[in-house]
Structure 1
Amino acid sequence: MAKVCFLLANGYEDSEMKNPYEAVKEAGHTADIVSLEKGVELKGKKGTVSYTSDFSISEVKADDYDAIVIPGGGAPEALRINDEVVEFVKQANEQGKVIAGICHGPQVMISADILKGKNATSFVGIRDDLKNAGSNYMDKEVVVDGNIITSRTPKDEPAFIREILNKL
C-alpha cells in the first residue's frame, strides 16, 4: 500500500481535502497530514471539517511518500511561500512521485517550478499563473501528465480521486 502526504494549511476547500483523504484511506493507503507545524488544528474555509496535522514539513522528506495531494482553497497560498514545502514538492517531483493538486493546489507546483512543459488544469482564477509557469493549460475535469495530476473545482473531485487511486 502507498503512503500519501496531504499538504495542508488553514483555509483549504473542505471537500477537496475530505473526499480525497477519505478515499485514499478507504483504499487501504496511509494518509499523513503535513503542515507548517505539527499538532495544529487546520480548519476548512467553509468550517465543515477540521484536521490536526500529523507532521510539520520540517519533519518529513520526499523519500517518505509515494504521493502528495494538495487541496485547494486558501491553503496553497500559505504553503507556497514556505521554502521547505517548495523544496519537498520539488524533490518529490525529481523522484517521480505522484503530485496531485486541485483548484488552487497547483500554486504550490508553480512555486516548485515543476509544471514547465506539462499539461495541467486548475481553478480558472490561476489559469494565467499556470500558463506563465510554462504549462499547457487545459480546461478539463482532470489532467494527468506523467506523475502530475490536476483538477479544477470540487465538482471535479470524482475524476481527481479516480486518477489518484489509479496512480497509487
Structure 2
Amino acid sequence: MAKVAFLLASGFEDSEMKNPYNAVKDAGHEVIVVGLEKGAQCDGKKGTVSYTADLGASEAKSEEFDAVIIPGGGAPEALRVNEEVIRFVKEVNEQGKLIAGICHGPQVMISADVLKGKAATCYIGIRDDVKLAGADYRDEEVVVSENLVTSRTPVDEPAFIREILAKLA
C-alpha cells in the first residue's frame, strides 16, 4: 500500500480534503497530514472538518512517500510560500511520484515549478497562473499528465478521486 501525504494548512476547502482523504484511507493506503508545523491544527474554511498535522513540512522526507495530494481553498496560498513545502513537492516530482491538486492546489505546483510541459486544470481564478507556469491548461473535470492529477472544483471530486486511486493501485 502507498504512503500518501496530504499537504494542509487552515482555510482548505472542506470536501476537497475530506473526500479524497477518506477514499485513499478506505482503499487501504497510509495517509499522513503534512502541515506547516507538526501538531498544527488545520481547519476547513467551512468549519465542517479539522485535521492535526502529523508532520511539519520540514520533517517530510520525499523518499518516504508515494504521493502528495493538495486540497484547494485558501490553504495552498499559505503552503506555497513555505520553503520546506516547496522543497518537498519538488523532490516528490523529481522522483516521478504522484502529485495531485484540486481547485487552488496547483498554486503549490506553480511555486514548486512542476507544471512546465505538462497538461493541467485548476480553479478558473488561477488559470492564467497555471498557463504562465508552462502548463497546457485544459478546462476538464480531471487532467492526468505523467505524474500529475489535477481537477477544478468540488464538483470534480469523483473524477479526481478515481484518478488518484488508479495511480496508487
The two structures share one fold, judged by TM-score above 0.5: yes
Into which bin does the TM-score normalised by the smaller protein fall?
Answer: over 0.9
Correspondence for 2:57: 57
Correspondence for 1:120: 120
TM-score (ref. length: structure 2): 0.99
Unaligned runs of 5+ in 2: none
CA RMSD of aligned residues (A): 0.4
- Provide the aligned length of Structure 1 versus Structure 2: 168
Correspondence for 1:8: 8
How far apart are 1:40 and its partner, in Å?
1.6
Correspondence for 1:132: 132
Amino acid at match of 1:151: S
Correspondence for 1:94: 94
Amino acid at match of 1:10: S
Amino acid at match of 1:54: D
Correspondence for 1:38: 38
Write the distance in 1 (CA, Å) between the matches of 2:60 and 2:111.
19
SS in structure 2 of the partner of residue 51 of structure 1: strand
Q: Deviations over 1:8-63 (max 9, x none)?
A: 00000000000000000000000000001111211000000001110101111110
Write the distance in 1 (CA, Å) between the matches of 2:38 and 2:101.
22
Correspondence for 1:165: 165
How far apart are 1:5 and its partner, in Å?
0.2
Q: Deviations over 1:108-164 (max 9, x none)?
A: 000000101110000000000000001010000000000000000000000000000
Write the distance in 1 (CA, Å) between the matches of 2:164 and 2:18.
14
SS in structure 1 of the partner of residue 73 of structure 2: coil
Correspondence for 2:25: 25
TM-score (ref. length: structure 1): 0.99
Amino acid at match of 2:43: K
How far apart are 1:86 and its partner, in Å?
0.6
Write the distance in 2 (CA, Å) between the matches of 1:36 and 1:27.
26
Write the distance in 1 (CA, Å) between the matches of 2:32 and 2:61.
12
Unaligned runs of 5+ in 1: none
Q: Deviations over 1:81-103 (max 9, x none)?
A: 00111111001000001000000
Amino acid at match of 1:4: V
Amino acid at match of 2:164: I
